[in-house]
Structure 1
Amino acid sequence: MSNPKHDKGEHYLTTPKAEPFLERLIFNNRAAILLAFLVLTLFLGYNAIKIQPDASFERMIPLEHPYIVNMLDHRDDLENLGNFVRIAVEAKDGDIFNKEYMETLKQITDEVFFLNGVDRAGLKSLWTANVRWVEVTEQGFQGGSVIPDGYDGSPASLESLRQNILRSNEVGRLVSDNFGSTVVYAPLYEKNPETGEPLDYAQFSRQLEAQIRAKYEAQNANVEIHIVGFAKKVGDLIEGIGSIAWFAGITIILTTLLLFGYSRCISGTLVPVFASIVAVFWQLGALRLLGYGLDPYSVLVPFLVFAIGISHGVQVVNAMALEAAKGFDPITAARLAFRALYIPGMLALISDAFGFLTLLFIQIDVIKDLAVAAGLGVAIVIVTNLVLHPLIMSYIGITKGGIRHVQNHGEKQDRKWRVMSYFSHPSVAPISLLIAVLGLGLGVYYKQGLKVGDLDQGAPELRADSVYNQDNAYLINNYSTSADVLVVMVKTPAEQCTQYNVLRALDGLQWELQNTPGVQSSVSLADVSKIVTKALNEGNWKWYEISRNQTIINASIREAPAGLINTNCSLTPVLVFLEDHKAETLQTAVDVVEAYAAKANNEEHTFLLAAGNAGVEAATNEVISKAKDMMLVFVYGVVSLLCLLTFRSIRAVLCIVVPLGLTSILCEAIMAVSGIGIKVATLPVIALGVGIGVDYGIYIYTKLEKFLLEGKTLQEAYYETLRSTGKAVVFTGVTLGLGVVTWIFSPIKFQADMGFLLFFMFLWNMVGAIWLLPALARFLLRPERMLAKAQQSK
């Protein structure tokens, strides 16, 4: 005897209106589509396991910013462009003036010289010929290499070395203030000049660790190595990526256990996890085929793709379990679940994808790469979770245990949903809105303290107690010249960079900067001219000035270091040493330079910003500051437009988008209170949180509208909404939150920050959809008008 429910379902499935074209296309060709999935998964999976970590100095900076354009236009004329490493060799007992230490330093210098990627012409160490001393004697200028001729390590040679260092002006730069260490300074090529291959930061960092730190600390117990610089920081970040495999495993196991607790169904647990893992492999394989690698920032995107896949997979499992509990067979339950979810699912995922793609407007390549990776991943989830997942479930179905779980817990859950439906009650909704307004006020108040850029010394992407940041702290504490260098370029006509008016302008800028908070010191051609002029006049300080006599100026800069003048004397830099690279320090220094340039620039000389690692940071901060609000406008604009096109109601859009907006403001407030600045690593979180958070609102509103159009009251419609999809939304929010909260324990600080922020946004977006959306609906929606309009359109 046939089951009446099956009969009803079969009859329903045969009506053209109930059986969309996509449903017929997919479920009438199940075997062929699954075979195609298998082939694609093997192909893309093979490519996925071959994807490589990727990092590039130029891809992590805003190449179109005027500062960076100026820097790259004059890269051949400048040192201190920002991509270098400083290797401090510390004498743990005593000072550097002993034979064994100097021999170790010589070996390290030679070792660094032959590392791939090092600009050997720019390498500096006490043992390199470009580090010299100069003095004025009765016979005129005398000088030579800091390492004395005939050096043999004897006490006399070491004393001669000490005198040469004191005369070299390198104390505080290459030599520590207490003579306890010296620096090997190694500028780097972004690309190998012979092969054109980009610098492999991971390999370079490993070479520094193995061939420099480990090797020489083992050889000489009195030596300790400290290494800082962009390349080492990126290398450490890539090294930290290895730990992400552990977090991936933890996330998968935790998600699997939670899914089983939710569904009590083996197939309802393993299939969505499998489909989400397939989506990750497809994404990684496609990225490799498109020529992308995984940089330290986009490496987290596969986590998000997995999370989004689980988010939508739970909806499929929930819908199938409800249909199976009614008595439908697996194929019918799968088709009904697909029919109910494909429109809201596609809308939510398309909103996610377009939300992520708005990051393409930010002119920093690593953020663009992240946008492409996230957008591509979401596009793949549309296929794996709305096609692969239902097709597999159509063969396997919900287990008897899963069906019993739905049937046995229905009454208990009904009581819970009945209580939660009061969020839409006329007496409760105003209280919810009042709480939301208070939260909005607090968020707006605290977010005023949100800063753009780094808020701490060292590398904020790494933990404060990381080896890199400990090394950085050592250099800050023992050297008077900071590693944070802002380079101001002064451009003149050819052969005019040493003119009196140019040097006076340099000197004027330096005076302004030396009276600026956060600036340690500065160096320019004007300093060289003043020092040598004084030396030529018996060291009398009255002569410590720029001479108006051009002949004297020409004589004074004859021995100027190569880094302070280019070959045709058309460019000379001002090196500004900053206390740190915090956002406020950078902005203060940049504002001073820009104000001075505005009044000093003329036909004879033009002040251009900016090179040096601090110049790069300043440009990056400016781009992010301008892009933040624009990105939010685009994200919310795209999400609102897609919701408007789908629901054809501005009121519906407000119900879905307003809770997201509250979450964004509260997230920025939490960032301000927690001391997390907006930078390359954290800016995408805002877009990602909005993109994923909109899913909750779309699923809730889709069901709510359906029940309202059936003639139910708002509270009754919301009760039915919670019964049908509320559990899945709550579970998804909790699961996604717990999945990313494990990142807080990552050795990579920015990954921990992203985990913390995403944890908040996932949970709070879920709360907003469950709690605030029905309260807004109470004041915005007009169920009777919606019903009348729907009846008129029929």
Structure 2
Amino acid sequence: MGTVRHAIAVWTFRNQVLAITVILLITAISAAGLPHVQIKTIFSDMLPTGHPYAETFRDHPNFGNPLTLSVMIKRTNGDIYNTDTLQKVWDMTRDIDLAPAVDHDQVLSITTSKARYAEATPYGINMRPLMDSTVPQTESDLDEFRARVERSPNARGFLVSEDGTATLVQATFIEHRLDFGETFAYVQDLVESARDENHEVHLAGEPALIGWVYEYQEQMLWIFGVTLLALFAALFLYMRNIAGVVTPAITGVISAIWGFGFAGWMGLAVDPLLLLVPLLLVARAFSHTVQYIERFYEILDVVGDKHKAGELSLRVMLGPGVLGIVTDALAILLIVLAPIPAMQRFAIFAGYWALILLPTSVLLAPLILTRLPTPRNLHVIVARDDSAGGVHQWMARMLSHVATLTTGTRARYTAIVLVLCGAVSIYFGAAIKVGNPVEGSALLWEDSEYNVAVRNINDNFPGVNTLELVLESKETGTLEKTARKADAVHTMLALQDIMERSDSPPRATLSFADYLAEGARLYNGGDPRWMPLDPNDRATQAAASAAMMGSGPKAFSHVIDMKQQNATVSLWYRDNRQETVDKALADARAAVEQVGKEHPNFTVRLGSGTIALQQAVNDTVKDHYWVIVVVLSLLMFVLSAIAFKSVLAGIILVSQVNMANFVIIAMLYAMDMGLDINSLLVAAMGIGVGIDYGIYLLARVCDEYENQGGDFEAIIREAVTTTGRAIAFTATIMLIGIMPWYFLSGLKFLADMGLLLGAVMVINMIMALFVLPVMVWFLKPRFVQRDDLLISEHLNLAELRPVQSEGGV
């Protein structure tokens, strides 16, 4: 492999113009794809494929559709039964019906024809809209409207609050036509216009949540700009020369053009929430490039020739650079194992970006360095002169002290501390929650407008979180109206009864059967004793006909489909905290088991709605996170063992990176952050960061074996104070760059990810600088002595130093 590295380095520097031309050509082609980059959320792609809950939703999207907005209009000084408030509801309903991508059949409020009440007339049963074609104006009209609401089986509680001070306007949207940003801006403008001194207006629902994320896109880009400025400022203060700042900038920009250009050409949509990952990948380009810069300057300080230093640094760094970047890419690409289309698509995009750091950071960096001026502060950067001072010398001294803690008698005490930290991290990491730990959304701050809206709607209505138990007809393709048959209707009632009597009952339940009781009463002369439904098809069909008199299936589309074959039992819960979700689903499974899943004409399927869909994602994350970690660890072990030609090397590196991973998971637990679809990707990338640090440091240990005469204490000290300095610097500048996120971001998710990424960098740095050296000290592996490793060059700088003569060099 040394011959291969040598050949690649020689060819690259003999054909510099060709290499740079090829890179620039690929950059130009990639740049042409940038206008085609799509930054958007595709909701259905955020749901896992194959999970029974997600498949139930896909089969019956009209039941408990999460793409539903809820607007609550609340009177602050009285009830809603006044012309002013009802006019606001009327206007809001009709304005929302004009919103982009709205499903006109799924707009519901007390002012729509779908909200009805029943009355018996001399000519039969009449189902009439609660509100006529105009808003009530007189006191008598308002009293009549109030009476109608009282006679409506399900308007009170679901559309009008129990105290009569608030009402809901709901609208569902068609996904393939939905632009979350456009729709949210339109509806939010309606909400803000409707607010006044007498009315609170609140907006909630998945489209509003995603809309708020879109709303913060501009702020996110501004914060990312601040991050990049902070990174460049840290680079400048650290390097204090042109080459040290320009080289990482060029490699970072080119990698970004290649990455986003690939997404544009491939038509891969990038979710706004995951835009922080490209920023992290730019930082990874910085990290790999800084490793090259540090080694290039170190060799240049000895050989004095930029061309020779560039070729030698490429030879030395090619092995660890390739292995580090490949493991980085694997950490991301393996997320395709989680069957969530949005994550799989993003893993391909980000994995490709991670992989292209091979040409941009490994091959291009030394070519750039040889063409830029030699820094005047070269001797200061390599920190070989104790009198030089500055941050480089300070870091070298600090890391020298770190090295003393990992060798000699102190190493055993350091090892004890590390073992205890590892045990504590495993204990708390095992208790990590999967799912949402807060009421509302963890994406936004607790006092955000969205989370305040969710709490207010939950305080006045059953809530915005439903669990759907779907009765799916086995008679599809026929004219049979399964949802109107006695078995189906009584199964609905039984499910509602069981759930309402459970230890953790829902706040409300609703099914098609709830509308039939009033129909049965009116059908039988208005006697309340006829409200209980007879257990036979004839009586049930009659009650259904009475309930639907004067309307049609469209008015009941939230509980039955248009063909009246499939139906749902909707269960409302106050919040979507994981504890609530777990109890709701456990009770629902027990209820389905009690009534029976399979019936002659239908199957009871669990489930749909926000509760079930959230759990579908959580199950996928929980089932696949550790699979990804195990598979990634095995691949890292195999690749490391091959590169270092030692099983022990694989064990050392995988042990270090997995200890860091457990500490990171424990940090998530301490921060009360659930492991979810968003933090999964960041945590996986953290593993890639950790293995990078370990690879570079262990490769330097191998390189220093001959230079230090086999003295492991000297080997570790030299590796930690040189390569360790690049590790400490890249971790530090990332920490400096991302800390502003916490203080500047309106998205709690971005702030939390800033803290998490900061923890990832610091923890992986500490693990690399302590765990790996301690293991090397105690194990004293023999593979470091070999001169045929795929990863190490065993470069002896003393032999490369120009010979001094009396007349000069």
Q: CA deviation at 1:608?
A: 0.3
- CA drift of 1:46 comes to 5.0
2:463 corresponds to which residue?
A: 482
Q: Map 1:50-449 to 2 at 5 A.
A: 51-75=37-61, 78-136=62-120, 141-148=125-132, 151-168=135-152, 169-192=154-177, 199-210=178-189, 212-217=190-195, 222-406=198-382, 409-410=385-386, 415-449=397-431
Equivalent in the alignment of 2:515: 528
- For residues 366 and 181 of structure 2, the distance between their equivalents in structure 1, rounded to whole angstroms, comes to 41
Counterpart-to-counterpart distance in 2, 1:287 and 1:386: 22
Whether the aligned pair in 1 keeps the contact of 2:702 and 2:785 (CA below 8 Å) is no
Q: Which stretch has the larger CA shift, 424-433 or 446-455?
A: 424-433
- In the alignment, structure 1 segments of 5+ residues that lack a partner are 1-14, 193-198
Is residue 649 of structure 1 aligned with residue 630 of structure 2? no
Whole-Å separation in 2 of the counterparts to 1:318 and 1:477: 59
**Contact 2:270–2:346 (8 Å) recurs in 1:** no
Could you list the per-position Cα deviations for residues 281-322 of structure 1 after superposition, in whole angstroms to 9, with x for gaps in the alignment?
Answer: 221122111102321232112111111011111111111211
What is the CA distance between 1:58 and its match in structure 2?
A: 0.5
What displacement does 1:98 show? 2.4
- 2:551 alignment partner in structure 1: none
Paired with 2:706 and 2:345, the residues of 1 have a C-alpha distance of 43
Change in Cα spacing, 1:49 to 1:550, as seen in structure 2 (3 Å) is closer
Q: Deviations over 1:637-662 (max 9, x none)?
A: 22222212211212111221212211
> Which secondary structure does the structure 2 equivalent of 1:317 belong to?
helix
Deviations 1:173-208 (A, max 9, x none): 22233333322211110113xxxxxx2111111112
Letter in 1 for 2:710: K
Aligned residue for 2:544? 557
Residue in 2 that maps onto 1:601: 597
Q: What amino acid does structure 1 have at the position aligned with 2:185?
A: R
Give 1:465 deviation, angstroms: 1.4
1:564 is paired with a residue of what secondary structure? coil
1:724 equivalenced with 2:722 (yes/no): yes
1:518–1:579 CA contact under 8 A, matched in 2: no
Determine the structure 2 residue equivalent to 1:6.
none
| 1:352-378: CA deviation from partner (whole Å, max 9, x where unpaired) | 001111100111122213312221111
For residues 362-406 of structure 1, what are the alpha-carbon distances to aligned partners after superposition, in whole Å with 9 as ceiling and x for unaligned? 111222133122211112222111122211111114311234443
Q: How many residues align?
A: 766
SS at match of 2:105: helix
Which residue number corresponds to residue 11 of structure 1? none
Q: Work out whether residues 329 and 397 of structure 1, in 8 Å CA contact, stay in contact via their aligned partners in 2.
A: no
Contact kept, 8 Å, 1:320 with 1:334, in 2: the verdict is yes
**CA deviation after TM superposition for structure 1 residue 528, in Å:** 3.2
Amino acid at match of 1:112: I
Distance, in Å, in 2 between the alignment partners of 1:603 and 1:518 is: 25
Q: Is the 8 A contact 2:36 2:267 kept in 1?
A: no
For 2:155, the aligned partner's letter is E
Cα distance in 2, alignment partners of residues 62 and 581 from structure 1: 19
Q: Percent identity?
A: 23
Q: Give the corresponding residue for 1:547.
A: 534
The alpha-carbon distance between structure 1 residues 781 and 538, as it changes in their structure 2 partners (threshold 3 A), is: farther
- Please report the TM-score for the alignment, with normalisation by the length of structure 1: 0.91
Residue 451 of structure 1: aligned partner: 433
| Matching residue's letter, 2:534 | S
Distance in 1 (alpha carbons) for counterparts of 2:522 and 2:711 = 92
Decide whether the 8 Å contact of 2:598 with 2:604 is kept in 1: no
Residues 503, 390 of structure 1: alpha-carbon distance in 2 compared, 3 angstrom cutoff: same
Work out whether residues 660 and 690 of structure 2, in 8 Å CA contact, stay in contact via their aligned partners in 1: no
Conserved 8 A contact 2:485-2:537: yes
1:406 and 1:150 mapped to 2: Cα distance? 82
Shift in Å, 1:492: 3.6
The answer (yes or no) to whether the contact 2:277–2:682 under 8 Å persists in 1 is no
Query: Shift in Å at residue 539 of structure 1?
Result: 7.1
Uncovered stretches (5+) of structure 2, i.e. residues with no partner: 388-392, 549-555, 795-809
Residue type of the alignment partner of 1:184:
V
In structure 2, do the counterparts of structure 1 residues 781 and 570 end up closer, same or farther at CA, with 3 Å as the change threshold? Answer: farther
Whole-Å separation in 2 of the counterparts to 1:410 and 1:344: 29
Partner of 1:672: 669
Could you report, residue by residue, the CA deviation over 1:403-435 in whole angstroms, capped at 9, with x for unpaired residues? 444356457566544433223424222222211
Question: Displacement of 1:126 after TM fit?
Answer: 2.1
Q: Which moved more, 1:606-615 or 1:403-412?
A: 403-412
User: Aligned equivalents of 1:485 and 1:328: distance in 2?
Assistant: 71
AA aligned to 2:660 is T
Indicate the residue corresponding to 1:12 in structure 2: none
User: Contact 1:656/1:769 (CA < 8 Å) preserved in 2?
Assistant: no
How much has 1:463 moved relative to structure 2? 1.2
1:742 corresponds in structure 2 to: 740
Quote the Cα distance in structure 2 between the aligned partners of 1:459 and 1:598: 31
2:713 and 2:379 mapped to 1: Cα distance?
28
CA displacement, residues 686-723 of structure 1 (integer Å, 9 cap, x when unaligned): 20100112111000000112223564121111122124
1:635/1:135 CA distance change after superposition, 3 Å: farther
Taking structure 1 as reference, are residues 139 and 644 closer, same or farther at Cα in structure 2, changes over 3 Å only?
Answer: same
The answer to whether the Cα contact below 8 Å between 1:421 and 1:716 also exists between their aligned partners in 2 is no
User: What is the rounded CA distance, in whole Å, between the counterparts of 2:176 and 2:5 in structure 1?
Assistant: 57
Partners of 2:612 and 2:738 in 1: CA distance: 34
SS at match of 1:301: helix
- The one-letter code matched in structure 2 to 1:180 is T
Moved more, 725-734 or 542-551: 542-551
User: 1:632: Cα distance to partner?
Assistant: 1.2
Contact 1:447/1:669 (CA < 8 Å) preserved in 2?
yes
C-alpha spacing 1:759/1:589, structure 2 compared with 1 (3 Å): same
Summarize the Cα distance change of 1:355–1:408 in structure 2 as closer, same or farther, 3 Å threshold: closer
Kindly indicate whether the alpha-carbon contact (under 8 Å) linking 2:490 and 2:535 is maintained by their aligned counterparts in 1: no
Trace 1:609-628 onto structure 2 (pairs within 5 A). Answer: 609-628=606-625
Aligned equivalents of 1:637, 1:150: Cα separation in 2: 69
Q: Give the counterpart letter for 2:495 in structure 1.
A: L
Q: Matches of residues 702-721 of structure 1 in structure 2 within 5 Å?
A: 702-708=699-705, 711-721=709-719
The residue type equivalent to 2:191 in the other structure is R
- Alpha-carbon RMSD across the aligned residues, in angstroms, is 2.7
Deviates more, 1:512-521 or 1:284-293: 512-521
CA drift of 1:43 comes to 4.4
Deviation at 1:509, TM superposition (A): 2.1
**Aligned match of 1:10:** none
**One-letter amino acid of the counterpart of residue 438, structure 1:** L
C-alpha distance in 2, partners of 1:592/1:246? 46
How far apart are the structure 2 equivalents of 1:427 and 1:539? 92
For the 8 Å contact 2:509–2:572, the answer to whether it is kept is yes
- Separation in 2 of the partners of 1:790 and 1:277? 35
Contact kept, 8 Å, 2:499 with 2:591, in 1: the verdict is no
